[in-house]
């Protein structure tokens, strides 16, 4: 599967890169993607929710009324869940929502996510470039040159580029990540993947593991 390398203005440079069909041309495994995204989102949950149960409510322990002769049901404590302000029955407790997912499934999910983007033509290969200094204006001009302004984009770099990262940090709907930080959720969340020509080889090596 070949993709044209374009420059910052969106024009073709005449060079082409080959994205191996063993990775970008495979059949998309939607169930593996589902499991990996589910695990990623579960791991993002703080799990700090908490409600007070009967033993934790700060009320008097005095028996409310006598046991018999009132014509109503027995009531031994105002902490009972049947009263307003009483403890909650089986309320939420702090917990960890993360769960284990096999490495092979995660690798298959990541491959499938990139294969889906490649087969949909949602990958742009850009010639290497550098910003002399952080500039949000230049980053916006870059997206406009690629006709991607307003779209959700994921910019993939072979290694960290502080100027490019700072240039994009204040913008919504765009994210800059290095190859080793990629995950299935971020790939699927973007409308368009932008990767530099120098990121193709390390990305292929990562997905080949």
pLDDT (0 to 100) of residue 170: 92
Pair of tokens at residue 20:
């191996």
Burial 143-152 (b: 16+ CB within 10 A, else e): bebbebeeee
Rounded Cα distance between 79 and 187, Å, is 50
CATH T-level assignment (fold) for domain 2-46+100-208: Ribosomal Protein L4; Chain: A; (3.40.1370)
Instruction: Write down the pTM of the prediction.
Output: 0.83
Domain ranges of the chain: 2-46+100-208, 51-91
Rounded Cα distance between 187 and 204, Å, is 15
pLDDT in tens, 105-149: 999 999 999 999 999 999 999 998 889 999 999 999 999 999 998
């Amino acid at each position: 599967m070949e993709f044209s390398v374009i420059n910052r203005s969106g024009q073709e440079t005449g060079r082409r890169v080959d994205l191996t069909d063993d990775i970008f041309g495979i059949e998309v495994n939607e169930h593996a993607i589902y499991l990996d995204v589910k695990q990623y989102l579960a791991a993002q949950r703080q799990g700090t929710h908490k409600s007070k149960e009967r033993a934790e409510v700060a009320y008097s322990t005095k028996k409310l009324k006598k046991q018999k002769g009132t014509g109503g049901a027995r009531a031994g404590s105002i902490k009972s869940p049947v009263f307003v302000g009483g403890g909650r029955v089986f309320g939420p407790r702090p917990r960890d929502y993360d769960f284990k997912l096999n490495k092979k499934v995660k690798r298959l999910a990541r491959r499938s996510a990139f294969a889906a983007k490649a087969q949909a033509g949602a990958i742009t290969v850009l010639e290497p470039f550098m910003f002399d200094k952080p500039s949000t204006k230049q980053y916006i001009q870059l997206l406009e040159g690629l006709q991607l302004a307003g779209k959700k984009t994921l910019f993939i770099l072979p290694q960290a580029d502080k100027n490019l990262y700072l240039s994009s940090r204040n913008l919504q709907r765009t994210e800059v990540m290095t190859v080793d930080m990629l995950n299935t959720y971020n790939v699927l969340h973007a409308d368009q993947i932008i990767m530099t020509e120098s990121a193709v080889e390390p990305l292929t090596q990562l997905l080949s593991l």
